[in-house]
Amino acid sequence: MDLESFRREYILGGLRRRDLSDNPLRQFESWFVQAAEAGIKDPNAMTLATVDPDGRPSQRMVLLKYFDSEGFVFFTNYGSRKAMDISRQPEVGLHFPWHVLDRQVRISGRAERMGRTESVQYFVRRPRDSQLAAWASEQSSRIPSRQMLMQQFARMKEKFRQGDVPLPDFWGGFRIRPDSFEFWQGGTDRLHDRFLYTRTGSEWKIDRLAP
């Protein structure tokens, strides 16, 4: 297959400094709303990059569940590979690939576990089967078959057939507190527009980057 044939121009518009908010969270919110309105499937899907104890990077897609002035939140099994990586090295990267709009957002920051109360508040809003799946899956562990997974799921259904499904002790949220953002807008002739926000105390410094 000739991969060089996969080529196109990015023609959906440029990005100028005057168009940017001074606050990267407000800028992110504006772009996120536009991504959702454009009909992008799973606009909250983000690549989470971590590093293992040997310095090897690992990436996976997770779902952003909410964001605010404190940072970006997702939920997972605390025994998963990503959670174990974070426990040893909390500096992580996020990437939002909104290709339909010729846009990307890259975020770097520090991940921290959320309190149990916040995790419970989210967990009780999940569909019941998703709650049961959190109990059934020992995330990132090797399993012999899907049949075994479904058997474990059935056991959890039976175990919690009456009453509410409680939050597992091994499951909860992480919040990434950002220290840099990059907003990337595709441009013609590969002359893309890139702006980097870096935190300086309580303020944000904005620089244009060469494409």
The residues annotated as belonging to the active site are: 190
Spell out the alpha helix ranges (H) of the chain.
24-37, 81-88, 116-123, 128-136, 146-159
Residue 24: C-alpha distances to residues 52, 125, 153, 192 (Å): 29, 29, 41, 19
Q: CA geometry: angle at 59 spanning 108 and 177, to 5°?
A: 25
Q: Which amino acid is at 20?
A: L
Residue 181 exposed, middle or buried by CB count within 10 Å (0-12, 13-18, 19+): buried
d(CA 182, CA 95): 9
| 17 Cα distance to chain centroid | 26
Q: Answer yes or no: are the C-beta atoms of 117 and 124 closer than 8 Å.
A: no
